[in-house]
Structure 1
Amino acid sequence: MGRRRGRSRIVELRWTCSSCGTAGILGRHKVCPACGSPRETEEMSMAGLGAGDYQGGRNVGTTVTDPALLALGREGADRFCAYCGAGNRASATACARCGGTELVDERPKNPPGAPDDDPLPLTPSRPRRKKGRRFLLFAVAAAVVFGGYRYWATRTHDLAGTVSAMSWRHDTVRQRWVQVTRSDWRDSLHPAPAKMPVDGKGERPGVEILPSTCQEKFHHTEQYACGTENVCSEESYQVQTGETCSESCTDNGNGFATCTEYCSPTYSTEHRTVCRDETKYCDRDIFETWCSYRTWEWTDVETKTVAGSSKQGTHRDIAWAALTPGALERIAKRSQYEVVVDYRWDDARLQERIQPRKLGQEGERPDGRARDGAYLSWTLGEEVVVEKQNNGDVAGVWRGKARDDPARRR
């Protein structure tokens, strides 16, 4: 419920005679009772509507009940004689003082074309909110700082480096195709016959579920609707407890004012318990079938390792151990290679370790960045270029001597 307009009433104002100074003259009088001077436009700013004339939001003026005074108060704003300036009732056709027939409304303080004696100061415009602008400026500044740091951090420098060490490791593994027992959920098992390898290839593991091994086993927990339950909670609500009223008074321009009552409801916060039936959920364990099965897989049965480090100008020691596969066996080879590059950065001696992916051919010299090049393409003691970023990361290692070539920078 919003604001409600209540009753209206008429109150009588009081004015002060500018000729003799008599104050508190009732608004019904258009002539000063003391000196007989007529009420003119400059005496229309009457007492009775100031801040001190209100108490508890209501005007303290007495409500006019006399029918004649009510008619006078509701008649309309006074009109003033254009000749003598005397005030007259709104319904008058001639001046009560001089008989002039030209009656006008209250004369404005500054007639059209007259300069303003006391111009009102311009109302300053409300300053714009700067919160959004400040946030935008902060975001832009943060983006600039972050972008600048990222740009600086990824700038690179070409540093002279030298291959200081090279090492390798070769594992020769003999693997056997063996039958094993495993367990898994029945839904993920697809029985199929196994196929034995020929010369270490062409095999298929197969799946054979073992009889009498399948059993129910806990798989997961799920929720389900298991009825309803009465759930109660406290809630607050507003209750109208009455209303507060105040008056707004408007000068009628004739010695009276109209006061209108406006009322707004008042509320209090109350609390109550509200109960409702809601769906109840319970947990239950879900079981699924777990089975053991036979399958085949490759298993390491023997490993021989040969390892070493390359010496200046030769890779002759690199070799593989020899193993002979038997029936249902094969030979697998695994390798690890490492090249160590020494370089200096801000007077600190550092190392970059490179793990080539393959052995390659001796004398192989790939172009460009050689981080993943063949092991045999490297030579102990050769000069390389370490591309170092400002943030300390190594962007790459190049073959050849260091030189300041912008085309090689990222």
Structure 2
Amino acid sequence: MAIQEGRWDCRSCGTVGILGRHKSCPNCGRSRPEGTRFYLPEDAQAVTDEARLQEARAGADWLCTYCGASNSAALEACGGCGADRADSERQAVRDYALEEVPRSGDNAPDSPSGGEAARTSSPRRRGSLRKFLVAGGVVGGILLLLFLVFRPRHKTLTVTGFSWEREIDVEAYRTVTEEGWDLPHGARVKKKWRDIHHYEDVLDHYETRTRKVPERVQTGTERYVCGKRDLGNGYFEDRYCTRPKYETRYRTETYREPVYRKEPVYRTKYRYEVEKWVHDRTKRAAGEDREPEWPPLRLAENERAGRRTEHYFVHFTDEEKERYRKEVSEAQWRRYEAGKRYSARVSRSGEVLEVTFPETKR
């Protein structure tokens, strides 16, 4: 059972982190009062000195009724005034769960006593903070480098030309032969037959099999450190609890597993003729002027114009004569002026991301 030396704070002069072995403040000499809050730093080491261990195991300190001095439980008379211990009050003994162990004393801002002494961080905390700051700096540097490499560049682009493309899909109304499970309106059946539409799982039989099944089995109990005990004399000791100990064991289990077969499901399938509009060809027109037009169409009686698509491009060069092309809507395309300069954002791969039009003067 490990014992650790705690700390306490002097409420009189504000000294913090006084070793638990001291019954009075080494700075101002005031005796440790009743109700002193003992606390345990996170980096506190186990006590190994036999004299300190005996002092810790002696019991809670007692407070002299006459002079108020704090005395070891091993003393029968006050070390300050010599008065007999008699019925003097003792420092309280407290039990804490691990997450409730006090880490600061009476002079910490959040303590019940409301002391104003500054709390000092332990070397371990300072080391952890330093590592965190170094790691954060490395990550931040990498992110900054990636931002500088991939961020868009601002360039001044000059319009050097325009181009456009327009397409019209031509559809023809024709008799087509198709196959399917259902007949569309107006279809003329040429052939029909029974065919496999899909498969269904049908139970065929059962097979007896074995498998390993895990089970949690209690094999005993174990003691573990579940908290700390404030011994009321400046020392803390581990509190132990008992919990069941388990291990995973496997047993063989027999079971029946269903086995299924794929059973085909038949339906009538058709080969039929039907009249419908189908894609026949695409007519295209393109140019590098400012007068886009649709390609001329010569349609037969059984043809019609279908889907229309159009694309408009503005061509630029930058100050280093590097060329760019940006697709825009027709309305934007007509706003650009040949030979005019525009401010733009360009990606590292050469894509024009955004072009800023100059404000129109009123």
TM-score norm. by structure 2 comes to 0.44
Give the structure with higher Rg (CA). 1
TM-score norm. by structure 1 comes to 0.39
